[in-house]
Amino acid sequence: MKNWWFVRGLKKGILTEESPKDIAEWSTEIEGKGDVVCPTNAIENEKWIKERCIFCRLCYPNYRPNLNPRIYTIKSINTFFKKSFYLYPIDSGTCGGCNLELKLISAPQYDMTRFGIFFTNTPRHADALVVMGILTEKMREVLEKAYDAMPEPKLVILLGTCAVSGGILGEKIPLDSVVEIPGCPPNPYTILEALREVKGK
């Protein structure tokens, strides 16, 4: 029973993909021309600012996605986590979209464990704190305690436009992050690719 997915895959000829064939286009890079009304000012002087975009589509059809899912930013790569990389996800005030997409990377289609990436239930065992959502007042102390409880070396990953820039609602997360993955919500492939990059693949 333990190897059910493996046996089923062999029988049906299904393999876990290195990268997915289909990506939701409205979570990819956006390009276009013309003046538009953007609620988060994500388009200025015809330039798309990925950190602010909530993919509301008010800029359509002047601006369209170009199917490039690599919209993350990585400030440094830490090969210390190359063999195993444990994530502690924390919701500081989301709508739930980022949580769902993050959870999907553990599904058989993406299978994050094949790359040595795992979830942990405690920040004391975590290598990276994955923060989702805007900073709500009651979560400020929780976030600080979780970060302080993590052993060194530790990373902060901001997931979703709300965490990166505050989105349409409020305040961004005030922690120095190594990885920023914008999107509302980000694509699971984008999340997985960014995590692999930061740990040195």
Mean of pLDDT over the chain: 89
Per-residue pLDDT at 47? 92
What are the angstrom distances between the C-alpha of 163 and each of 47, 69, 200?
21, 18, 24
Q: How much is the CA Rg of the chain, to the nearest whole Å?
A: 18
Looking at the predicted structure, is the pLDDT value of residue 7 above 80?
A: no
Confidence band of 24 (pLDDT split at 50, 70, 90): confident
Q: Is 149 helix (H, G, I), strand (E, B) or coil?
A: helix
CB-CB neighbours of 121 under 10 Å: 9
Name 159's bridge partners.
Answer: 132, 181
Taking only the tens place, the pLDDT of each residue in 41-65 is 999 988 999 999 999 999 999 999 9
Per-residue pLDDT at 99? 95
What integer is the mean pLDDT of 4-26? 71
Taking only the tens place, the pLDDT of each residue in 80-130 is 898 899 999 999 989 999 999 999 999 888 889 989 999 999 999 999 999
Describe the strand order of the beta sheet including 179-181 as a list of residue ranges.
73-74, 179-181, 155-159, 128-133, 85-93, 117-119
Looking at the predicted structure, is the pLDDT value of residue 1 above 60?
A: no
Higher pLDDT, 151 or 14: 151
